[in-house]
Chains A and B, each alone.
Chain A
């Protein structure tokens, strides 16, 4: 049994897969929460082939009761969650404001912001009781710059930053650190599919370092925030974006 337990919400996504691999290498046993059952199970199988401990739990991010019971079950089995990484989310819907259906706008906020809140809430009490724990939420460069068509996503990701700061203040007296990571353009399969080759290289040219991030580079940032090396860092947002925007 690994001596540290990490729950990675969205652990089967493009960035998620890189994060769980990196955390497994750092000695965590991984619980992957993901709505995509096929990808979730495949990621777990891959980790197990590399002799890492991994479990998959299906979770529907808009179902608060389900989130609660999934975390309660993990807590019951492991009696410890050392690390929670909330990666699940995404732009989901892009529309000009005048055409943005309320239901879709709400979905973006629910999946990116509310699910982060619910997952944090689920681990806060046990982490507080054990007086140790690390939480890492995911913002985005869009949370700082905004983006046309992304009023919902940018609002949710900006909100994640303020939520993270508030939770950091609440949890600091109990030995729990809460930070956010803000990836810039990242070369996951899903993101890459959204652009033609020409568009993709043009996007890269607008980034000071001249290219998109590899998912493994986001994973390194997560690993740093999870580690003792960042033991005096809380309430902060780590931007991994090749200089696309500066904090």
Chain B
């Protein structure tokens, strides 16, 4: 039985990796997906993939670090579908630099995208969810939020910030029946770690993870659907770690 029938979901960074898997997974559960990505080409490709599978999707080029762009995306979603049930804050960037050499501009870009972008998207969907008195906001953090990241201090800070932000937003929106939760992947088999690690390094990490392998994008789909579904209606402000036991919290 499909669990998200006719729900409208915005998934940011849905053009690739974890965002794409979550978008496809929610579409399989009957949700109509706004495929938001900075890269219009990949967004359209995922839209076509959803439509080919019998689903409904709308690709929108979105820069989550830009308030106007985010507002426009939400407006387009509302114009197309008339309501908003789910926001998945997945988009993020992960450049690397040692703190000593880190340019302020790079710091601003990472915080501005990962953390401020999550704030902007959440802020932009809040009025509609408050009016509906229902909604689910699900944000992606990272194991780096818990154990830090060598050469990724801005990334770790942004991802830890998402947890603090989400707990606070959960408190603000709980009286209106809107839940706000976080999903924490471990290292996942996507393009992201390939920016700064070799294939060997990536797969070697699987041996140190209790379940014996690195994550696949599909591993995050079940938790995302669960948090978006009726089944998780009393869960808010929490962080679900789907990381093979890599960090236990």
Contact = CB atoms under 8 A, between A and B. Distances in A.
Contacts of A209: 174-175, 177, 234, 236
B231 A230 contact: no
Contacts of A241: 234-235
A42 interface: no
Contacts of A239: 235, 238
Interface string B178-192: 000000000000000
A172 interface: yes
B53 interface: no
Interface stretch (B63-71, B76-84, B86-94, B240-248): B240-248
A92 interface: no
A236 B236 contact: no
Interface in A139-154: none
Given A173-B212, A247-B239, A234 B234 contact: no
Interface magnitude class on chain A: 35 or more
B170 A232 contact: no
Nearest to A162: B248
A220 interface: yes
Interface in A185-209: 208-209
A220 to B, nearest CB: 4
A229 B225 CA distance: 9
A46 interface: no
A27 B236 CA distance: 28
Contacts of B219: 231-232
Nearest to B239: A247
Most buried by A among B211, B212, B226, B231: B211
A229 B174 contact: no
A172 B210 contact: yes
A224 B171 CA distance: 24
A168 interface: yes
A165 B243 CA distance: 13
Nearest to A225: B226
Interface string B148-170: 00000000000000000001001
A220 B231 contact: yes
Nearest to B178: A209
Contacts of B177: 209
A12 to B, nearest CB: 23
Nearest to A180: B248
A223 interface: yes
B174 A247 contact: no
A169 interface: yes
Nearest to B236: A243
Nearest to A217: B234
A208 B174 contact: yes
A177 B212 CA distance: 12
Interface in B183-235: 210-212, 215-216, 219, 221-223, 225-226, 231-235
A246 B238 contact: yes
A221 B241 contact: no
Contact of A165 (B223, B232, B234, B248): B248
Interface in A145-185: 165, 168-169, 172-173, 177
A232 B174 contact: no
A168 B248 CA distance: 9
Contacts of B174: 208-210, 242-243
A241 B170 CA distance: 12
Nearest to A214: B234
B120 to A, nearest CB: 22
B244 A232 contact: yes
Contacts of B231: 220-221, 223-224
B238 A172 contact: no
A238 interface: yes
Contacts of A233: 223, 240-243
Contact of A217 (B212, B215, B233, B243): B233
B15 interface: no
22 contacts: A168-B245, A172-B245, A208-B236, A208-B237, A209-B234, A209-B236, A210-B175, A213-B234, A220-B232, A230-B222, A232-B216, A233-B243, A234-B244, A235-B210, A235-B245, A238-B235, A240-B234, A242-B174, A243-B171, A243-B174, A246-B170, A247-B239
Given A229-B225, A232-B219, A234-B245, 10 more contacts: A169-B245, A208-B175, A213-B234, A224-B231, A229-B221, A229-B222, A236-B240, A238-B235, A238-B238, A240-B235
- The 3 closest A-B CB pairs, nearest first, are A229-B222, A172-B210, A208-B174
